[in-house]
Amino acid sequence: MTLGSIWARTRRELSQMLAITVKDIRVYYLSPPMVMFGLLMPFLMFFSFSVSRGLSVGVSVARLLAITTFFTASSAGPVILPMERKTRSYERMLVAPVSIFSILFGKAMVGAAFGLAVSLLTLVVAALALGAPLASLVGLLLAMILASISFSAMGLLFALWPTDSATPVGSTMMPATLIRWPLMFISGVFVPLDQMSPVLRVISYISPLTYTQDLMNHTVLGHGLQSQALDWVVLLASTGVFLVVTFWFDRIQKRRGY
């Protein structure tokens, strides 16, 4: 395979991935499940557990950014894929001259873009209206981008969980939500890690949200409990793990004839 053919295939894959991303953004961003689970849910959860706790502006912004990125980015996959499988549009893409890599990466970019857009809007409002301090704006933006990609890949994992048949959005979203809720309570969002019991703190290290929250603390407040290098490495590794498992789940679905 020559360098020219590799470049041509790469351009083709990227253009297909971009086309899928743009299509899904136009069709699904304002759908009721996306608005409910991706926009309203994180803000309602945050304000329900943070009101009257006397948190500083910086701490509130760091936690709100972590929870909005987490919930918003991971909501796209469990909403879009069940809707497309119900209408058979996902199956039509599978038989089209488009690789599964372009399809799933395109879907992942939808959630990442959704999570990043909502988080950026939250950041702008916090910076302008509340005067939130930012220790590192560049670091914060990079953390938001990586976290959005990681949590979007996690959402795809939920959406492609092997089942015997197509499931509606609610049947996919509710188990995903039941998994995501406990992660918020063990990841330093509502209860700081240094206030947890030793057992819960050990458990918290399996959650990628823990490292996202710590990165937000570093880039907004200027300090965190863990090394920034560790946070970046774990988020990158979790992104890779989520994508690998997602492709594995897709292969299982194909073997079952669905």
Taking only the tens place, the pLDDT of each residue in 11-32 is 888 888 888 888 888 877 777 7
The residue ranges of the chain whose pLDDT is under 70 are: 1, 37-38, 46, 48-53, 162-171, 173, 256-258
Range of the domain at 29: 3-255
Give pLDDT, residue 23.
Answer: 84
Neighbours of 11 (CB within 10 A): 10
pLDDT at 144: 94
**pLDDT for position 118:** 87
The CA dihedral of 85, 89, 91, 97, to the nearest 10 degrees, is: -150
CA 79 to CA 109: how far, in whole Å?
14
The pLDDT score that the predictor gives to residue 140 is 93
Residue 199 burial (CB < 10 Å; 0-12/13-18/19+)? exposed
Question: Rounded to 5 degrees, what are φ and ψ at 53?
Answer: -100, 0
Condensed to tens digits (0 to 9), the pLDDT of residues 166-198 reads 566 656 767 777 888 888 888 888 888 888 888
Q: What is the pLDDT of residue 147?
A: 95
How many domains are contained in the chain? 1
Cβ proximity of 33 and 173 under 8 Å: yes
Report, in angstroms and rounded to the nearest whole number, the Rg of the chain calculated over CA atoms: 19
pLDDT at 81: 82
Q: Is the pTM of this model over 0.75?
A: yes
User: Residue 60 has what pLDDT?
Assistant: 84
